[in-house]
Structure 1
Amino acid sequence: MSTEIERAPFASTARMLIEGVAEGPLLWSDTALSFWGGVDPDTGIVIDQAHPLHGKCLKGAILTIPGGRGSCTGSAVLMQLILAGTAPAGMVFCQSEEILTLGVIVAEEMYARSLPIAVITPSAFADLEGVARLHIGNGLVHEPGATSPAIPVRPAKHSSSVALTASDLALLSEEAPKATRTAMRVVRRMADLLGAEKLIDVAQVHVDGCIYTGPASLDFAEKLADWGGRVVVPTSLNAISVDQAHWREQGTDPVLSTAAGALADAYVRMGARPTFTCAPYQLDSAPAPGEDIAWAESNAVVYANSVLGARTMKYPDFLDICIALTGRAPHAGCHLTENRKARVVVDVEKMDGRDDSFWPLLGYRIGTLAPNAIPVVTGLEDARPSADDLKAFGAAFATTSAAPMFHIVGVTPEAASLAEATGGADLPTVGVTRRDLANDWHHFNPTTGDPIDLVAFGNPHFSFDECNALADLLAGRKRNRDVTVTITVSRATHAKVIEAGIAGELEAFGATFVRDACWCTVMQPIVPPKARTILTNSGKYAHYGPGLSGKQVRFASLADCAAAAMTGKAPGGLPLWLV
């Protein structure tokens, strides 16, 4: 006689972030997923090689993951999938999720296309592992045929509870340009989703939606521009997908380059500044402490909140320009002091002799330990990290965590003490050891001493100081003829390194510059088609690079990357500080 107990069909109530009905095969993972760099926007195939769903196709499935993580561009990728017919049939999360949800909101408002998104409890989420097929609808998530009258059906969608001023209502009226009305509807819907009681003014916006993710991203921006869209606050633009001035000589795909350039032009037509950088904190217009801003681009959000002390949510692509067109943002998230406090303590073992590779490795590790919670880091009170160290830390942290900021006791402005960062709360503590970081180094470098075809610098964009440090390492030397060395920078930084003579020194070595684009967006042949292995000092690119480029990507310090540019070989083993 069998003693196996038959499992009851799964059924659970749900909070519907997006209403609708869908059914399909279940794709379940307990690991969050960044759609940008993690999902091919044309096919819907998961390209993040480190994700458990790697190689799976999302089309027509019920994607069930804890939530999103990483890049703010996930909203743009999802909208492209929706319009291309390669999106999931529906999605189920176990935590609040704004980036992917915003992609569906915009698809509804602009194109009348949608898919349902449901949030269930973590325990119900865990029970879904092994389920073959799932149905979403009417406030329920269940296996087909498992509905039960004992499970209450969620009431109909309620109206917005966000208090609007007379000026807000004017932005929704027929007197406002169509672009403004549409943008304001999106802002109000997101504010309602976040539980915001009101909207606030912002001092500036940084738009990440200018990255070309496919025809949908271009059509969206051109529609807003054609509908009379005009930014009403100072607005900077993120790195785009092409070096606008030099793509022809660089030999990038003319069709994609033209489309990417047209997308950038649409945002400039709306009054945004052509800054084209993923590191807007390097610009002279960087915000002041306590200033409410609306920045997208995950690493920039983390840096603005954590290092500059400005206040921004992790705004999804498309919501950024909507806020720029209205000047209004939800009073939620990190705009509120109580939401900026740490929720977990991370104690770091003392590691003497460390080099600059310490910071991206540590950021990557802490992101995995705090995938959704703001961490406060102890053990680095005397570390004295540079702005570039914190940039590298924050960018790597933002690839593995959905949290919008971090604190480092004695380093970041809202963490003069542990008590200040935590608000006095008694929090759980986790540790990071030298062995942990050695394991992460080996994760990025499963083999050592590999021949290197490309050394990639500048993800996020290289700063003036990083260009200068690299020039010092390479002074009077020549690159290996079999290695391409490329540095991505902003227009502003490029002008400064030219004026200082640093650009000439690097070009004499054999390095080339790419402006406007970043390693998350560059096209072939900037990444040489025949290249097999890329070396980078960026934890962010070491994570996203394999999926985005189709190449092997290895990670090393700035000095080891410089050495590889001359020898043509990746480091032969762990850096000394990790041995």
Structure 2
Amino acid sequence: MPDFSMQARSLVSGRAQGDLLYADVGLSFWGGVDPFSGEVIDRHHPLNGNVISGCVLAIPSGRGSCTGSSVLLELILNGHAPAALVVAHPEEILSLGVLIAQALFERSLPVICIGQAAFERLHDCTFVRVDGSQINAYVTAPIDDQPAPSLTPETSPQHSDLMLTDFDHAVLAGEHGKAAQVAMQIVLRMAELQGARELIDISQAHIDGCIYTGPASLRFAEQLVTWGAKVRVPTTLNAISVDQRRWRAQGIDPAFGEPASALGDAYMAMGAQLSFTCAPYLLDSAPEAGDQVVWAESNAVVFANSVLAARTQKYPDFLDICIALTGRAPLIGCHLTTGRLATLQINVPALGDVDDAFYPLLGYHIGALAGSQIPVICGLQQAQPSRDDLKAFGAAFATTSGAPMFHIVGVTPEAATCEQALGGMAAQRQLDISAQDLLASWHELNSASSPDLGLVSLGNPHFSLSECAALARLCAGRDKHPEVAVVITCGRHVLEQARQAGHVAALEAFGVQFVTDTCWCMLGEPVLPVSAKNLMTNSGKYAHYAPGLVGRRVHFASLAACVDAACSGQASGDLPSWLRQTSRHGGY
């Protein structure tokens, strides 16, 4: 007999069983799980070093990157996926990866949502069986365990509760081509999972699925091209996995460079623009307040919702292109005014004059506290953060949180007051952050234990024109240490703007290298110097991901501190003045 049994919500139906792998912290599959082995590589996660293949994986939810759906698809197709997923909260990104596996490749695994209270009861269990909406958990594995029957994928849902237009029905009937038909089927599967009742027209899309995670991501895109896929709305592309014009000169292995470049070409063949940036809010095509859009890429989603007041969900890879091909999205979540309200209030202490490292640090810390809740942050009314500060905050926030947006009272457009952000309701939770809390997150991001330095990595998310200008001022009249590489990733459009402004010439004279089209979460050796054992960055996002992605320890600090280290050849390890008072230790 099971020690724990219940009926729950089946997000993707199926039957499976296996040893339980449990964690009470959300997991980003992109940057957190190796797509070719199933090993958890997020060095900050309690499951780090475990292999999820064949087990029943129980996590409260996903978090971080929208590319998690692509990583899970790779794992399903290469045989390294978990037997089943058990989540506490509805999980769209990972569920979408399974739905794509069903729709295009007739492979699947069950995904079941059991709620927070029941999820916590799994803590002491070691074995789980999932059968549709039924979950049985055992403290000791039963001696009669048998292989679970295989799943017959559900590929023809009825969509009976959705109000569809004549156009929707025509697309479903194949009148607009095979690609649009399959795309609409996937959109409607997700709409049902989300509980949407109708679809809305969207004005633009930003595609994150152009990141190459392995053969499955390319097979998906090329299948759509074969079916004649064409986007119905203006569509931009996220940073791809290589600098498409220069990857050969950079020494990238053709076994990776060729399919990664081909993936970008496949999406352009569908009519997407050659933008290749993870910061589409820096483009002239950025949406305005109230625009209904479909953006993927976690930092871009958070910035669009929070800073631009455009309206988008945190769309998983693959769903983004499906919506771009149909022009229709589920009316749910942040597309609705009620879905944009904060439910968590976070109070930030006054720390005096802060530098630009404060905002990514704060975003990283608040994201971990928020989980999937939208927070409203109080205490920064007089701070006047720049757009670059908000970019850095949002990227770090999206790394540790599953929420699609944040509010900062007196700063972001939908939070003139705390009451407005909360919609006049009381916060479900209210938390106070102390300087000591931020110090703990500072030490978490600073994983390097020695001052050695081989690389300063900048531009995650992509550098802006104003950041190029700020860096040029910091580097003026100084000399870079010959053994430290300084590399900026940015979009082609920003590189051209910076060139015209004279910043590129000044920075190249200092020794800065520019890489376009791709971003640090996709870059490795040899762009990352083989000899570099430690790297330094001002990005909270990259400070989190780098140890798992590239096996380097990290120094995290302000842009000015990065320049100082690039000149001296070593990171000082000094705390910023606004944190120094909370610690007895000022450096190494």
TM over 0.5: yes
- Greater Cα offset, 423-432 or 372-381: 423-432
| 1:556 CA drift (Å) | 0.6
Match of 2:444 in 1: 443
Structure 1 residue 395 corresponds to structure 2 residue 389 = no
Deviations 1:24-80 (A, max 9, x none): 110001010000000000001000011011011111000001010000000000000
* CA separation of 1:447 and 1:256: change in aligned 2, threshold 3 A: closer
Does the alignment pair 1:325 with 2:319?
no
Report if aligned partners of 1:34, 1:74 keep a CA contact under 8 Å in 2: yes
- Comparing 309-318 and 243-252, the one that deviates more: 243-252
Provide the C-alpha distance between the structure 2 equivalents of 1:387 and 1:91, rounded to a whole number of angstroms. 38
Letter in 2 for 1:211: I
Task: Tell me what 1:141 maps to.
Answer: 135
> In structure 2, what is the equivalent of residue 492 of structure 1?
493
| 1:334 alignment partner AA | C
1:14 to partner: Cα distance: 1.4
String of CA shifts for 1:242-268, please: whole Å, max 9, x gaps.
001111111111110111100000000
Match of 1:60 among 47, 54, 57: 54
In the alignment, which residue of structure 1 is the partner of 2:185? 185
Shift of 1:121: 2.4
AA paired with 1:187? V
**Could you state the TM-score of these two structures normalised by the residue count of structure 2?**
0.94
CA distance in 2, matches of 1:233, 1:568: 48
Q: What is the SS of the residue equivalent to 1:261?
A: helix
1:88-103 equivalences in 2 (<5 Å): 88-103=82-97
Runs of 4+ deviating beyond 4 Å: 144-147, 446-449
Instruction: Give 1:476's aligned residue.
Output: 477
In the alignment, which residue of structure 2 is the partner of 1:3? none
Distance 1:134 1:347 in 2: 40
Q: Deviations over 1:393-413 (max 9, x none)?
A: 000000111000000010000
Q: Which runs of 5+ in 2 are unaligned?
A: 145-153, 581-588
8 Å contact 2:231–2:272 — kept in the other structure? yes
AA at the equivalent of 1:255? A
Partner residue in 2 for 1:404:
404
Q: Which residue in 2 is equivalent to 1:458?
A: 459
RMSD across aligned positions (CA): 1.5
Other-structure match for 1:80: 74
Q: Does 1:105 align with 2:110?
A: no
Picking from 50, 64, 75, the partner of 1:70 is: 64
Contact kept in structure 2, 1:253 and 1:524, CA below 8 Å: no
3-state SS of paired residue (1:225):
helix
Number of equivalent positions: 565
Aligned partner of residue 203 in structure 1, secondary structure:
coil
- The answer to whether the Cα contact below 8 Å between 1:449 and 1:571 also exists between their aligned partners in 2 is no
- In the alignment, does 2:579 pair up with 1:578? yes
- Of the structure 1 ranges 207-216 and 158-167, higher mean CA displacement relative to structure 2 is found in 158-167
Letter in 2 for 1:96: P
- AA at the equivalent of 2:473: D
- Give the letter for the 1:272 counterpart: A
Structure-1 residue corresponding to 2:366? 366
Q: CA deviation at 1:13?
A: 1.1
1:143 Cα deviation after fit: 3.1
Any idea what SS the aligned residue of 2:248 has? helix
**1: distance between equivalents of 2:460 and 2:448?**
22
Letter aligned with residue 432 of structure 1: I
The verdict on how the C-alpha distance between 1:297 and 1:146 changes in structure 2, with shifts beyond 3 A counting, is: farther
Describe the SS at the equivalent of 2:575.
coil
| 2:3 alignment partner, one of 6, 9, 16 | 9
Instruction: After superposing the two structures, state which structure 1 stretch, 135-144 or 51-60, moved more.
Output: 135-144
Distance between the aligned counterparts of 1:455 and 1:138, measured in 2? 49
Residue 2 of structure 2 contacts residue 137 of structure 2 at CA under 8 Å; is this kept in 1? no
Amino acid at match of 2:57: L
CA deviations on 1:206-227 (whole Å, 9 max, x unpaired) are: 0000000000000100110111
Q: In the alignment, is the contact (CA less than 8 A) between 1:10 and 1:146 conserved in 2?
A: no
Supply the AA of the counterpart residue of 1:209: G
Rounded Cα–Cα distance in structure 2 between residues aligned with 1:332 and 1:56: 35
Letter aligned with residue 21 of structure 1: R
Cα contact 1:241–1:523 (8 A) shared by 2 = no
* Separation in 2, partners of 1:163, 1:298: 29
Give the Å deviation of 1:138: 3.1
- Residue 293 in structure 1 maps to residue 293 in structure 2: yes
AA at the equivalent of 2:364: Y
Instruction: Map Cα deviations across residues 474-529 of structure 1 (whole Å, 9 max, x no partner).
Output: 11222111101100000100111111111111111111000000000113201112
**Quick one: which amino acid aligns to residue 119 of structure 2?**
F
How far apart are 1:194 and its partner, in Å? 0.6
| Match of residue 552 from structure 1 | 553
1:446 CA displacement:
4.6
Following superposition, the deviation at residue 146 of structure 1 comes to 12
Letter in 2 for 1:52: P
Q: Which runs of 5+ in 1 are unaligned?
A: 1-6, 148-155
Deviations 1:446-476 (A, max 9, x none): 5565110000000000000001100110112
Please say which of residues 548-557 and 451-460 is displaced more in the overlay. 548-557
**Cα deviations across residues 266-300 of structure 1 (Å, max 9, x unaligned)?**
00000000100000000000001000000000000
Distance 1:354 1:118 in 2: 44
Alignment map for 1:124-135 (pairs within 5 Å): 124-135=118-129
